[in-house]
């Protein structure tokens, strides 16, 4: 079973899907594909090898602009179709999945602030595909109230030492799919931006900073298999889907292999973080994020 993210719109439904996959004994994969960029895997292996030292600070954003205007519409803005959360569920989940996957750390508590800039939006009278709403005329709309957020800002703790901050926005003019993540360790730093996915910035305190252009021969061993093309040939968003599907189908053919793709339980994990974000915003305060329950799968 291979499911798009988010796994569900509630923790309860996500838990049911994790349990169902375990009960029927099928492979389960959740398409958190953005983990699969070669240089994201390089950051992961650098953290794992201790090259950054203890992780002190993680910060970043996932910013888009496709819902900037009140005439921008998609099924995601309607909570009856997409669930209570939009921006944090849709793209904030990619950011936190990447932050936890790369560092190996887990968000333990957070404080979130959400904003819905457009309290009403103009819904097209007919269906509209994602990113395709720019061509409609004024008579083609009806005005509807909106409760899902255009923006979410989250400060968070990963255990007793590591601290972080992120924003997710679908109203940031000029930003198309800017997932940026910066990881600052006690020894050195890395920073990566999805809009320039073949470049990795590495920051040093006492020597020159460095820029790595994706080249499998320069990646750490655990990251090399995520780069199928030689150095200088760009690998992008489409390739991340290929990496997930390749690994998923390979696990069907070779059931004894380690499962090297995101699982339904990773989707449950993101729904757990999302629920904490919604609770925090509602109560205007910090909320602990429970660890993922062990679900046999």
Ligand X SMILES: NC(=O)c1ccc[n+]([C@@H]2O[C@H](COP(=O)([O-])OP(=O)(O)OC[C@H]3O[C@@H](n4cnc5c(N)ncnc54)[C@H](O)[C@@H]3O)[C@@H](O)[C@H]2O)c1
Binding site for ligand X (CB under 6 A): 4-5, 31, 33, 75, 90, 129-130
- For ligand X, the closer of residues 28 and 90 by Cβ is 90
Residue 277: asked if its preceding bond is cis (omega within 30°), the reply is: no
As measured in angstroms, the least distance from the Cβ of 270 to ligand X is: 11
User: 122 by DSSP, 3-state: which?
Assistant: strand
Give min distance, CB of 29 to ligand X, in A.
Answer: 12
Q: Which is nearer to ligand X, 83 or 185 (CB)?
A: 83
Give 182's strand partners.
59, 191
202, 189 Cβ separation under 8 angstroms? yes
Nearest distance, CB of residue 155 and ligand X, angstroms: 25
> DSSP states of 64-110 as a string?
--TT-STT---GGG-HHHH-S-SHIIIIIHHHHHHHHHHH-----EE
Q: Which is nearer to ligand X, 4 or 195 (CB)?
A: 4
Q: What is the DSSP letter of 274?
A: H
Cβ closest to ligand X, residue 33 vs residue 61: 33
**How many other β-carbons are positioned within 10 Å of the β-carbon of residue 153?**
19
Inter-residue contact 53 to 189 (CB < 8 Å): no
Q: How far is the CB of 278 from ligand X (least distance, A)?
A: 17
- C-alpha 297/C-alpha 292 separation (Å) is 13
Residue facing ligand X at closest CB distance: 130
- Specify the residue, 80 or 130, whose C-beta has the smaller distance to ligand X: 130
Cβ distance to ligand X smaller for residue 34 or 55: 34
Q: How far is the CB of 5 from ligand X (least distance, A)?
A: 5
Identify the three-state secondary structure at position 17: helix
Cα–Cα distance list, 223 to 20, 44, 98, 186, 218 (Å): 32, 8, 15, 23, 10
Pairing of strands 162-169, 178-185: unpaired
Distance (Å, rounded) from C-alpha 181 to C-alpha 275?
22
CB of 75 to ligand X, least distance (A): 6
User: What is the smallest separation between the CB atom of 63 and ligand X, expressed in angstroms?
Assistant: 15
Identity of the residue, 4 or 54, whose beta carbon is nearer to ligand X in the bound complex: 4
């Amino acid at each position: 079973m291979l499911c798009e993210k988010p796994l569900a719109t509630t923790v309860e439904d996500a838990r049911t899907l994790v349990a169902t996959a375990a009960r029927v004994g099928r492979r389960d994969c959740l398409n958190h594909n953005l983990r699969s960029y070669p240089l994201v895997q390089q950051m992961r292996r650098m953290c794992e090898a201790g090259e950054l030292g203890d992780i002190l600070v993680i910060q970043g954003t996932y910013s888009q602009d496709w819902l900037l205007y009140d005439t921008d519409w998609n099924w995601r803005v309607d909570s009856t179709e997409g669930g209570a959360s939009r921006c944090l569920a849709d793209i904030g989940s990619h950011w936190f999945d990447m932050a936890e996957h790369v560092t190996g750390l887990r968000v333990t508590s957070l404080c979130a602030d959400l904003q819905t800039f457009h309290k009403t939006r103009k819904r097209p009278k007919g269906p509209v595909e994602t990113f395709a709403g720019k061509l409609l005329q004024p008579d083609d709309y009806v005005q509807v109230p909106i409760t899902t957020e255009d923006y979410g800002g989250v400060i968070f703790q990963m255990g007793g030492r590591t601290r972080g901050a992120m924003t997710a926005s679908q109203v940031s003019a000029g930003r198309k799919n800017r997932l940026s993540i910066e990881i600052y360790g006690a020894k050195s730093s890395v920073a990566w931006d999805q809009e320039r996915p073949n470049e990795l910035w590495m920051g040093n305190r006492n020597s020159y900073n460095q820029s790595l252009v994706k080249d499998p021969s320069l990646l750490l061993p655990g990251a090399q298999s995520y780069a199928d093309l030689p150095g200088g040939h760009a690998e992008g968003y489409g390739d991340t889907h290929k990496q997930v599907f390749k690994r998923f189908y390979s696990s069907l053919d070779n059931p004894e292999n380690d499962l090297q793709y995101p699982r339904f339980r990773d989707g449950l994990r993101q729904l757990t973080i999302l629920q904490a974000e919604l609770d925090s915003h509602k109560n205007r305060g910090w909320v602990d994020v429970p660890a993922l329950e062990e679900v046999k799968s």
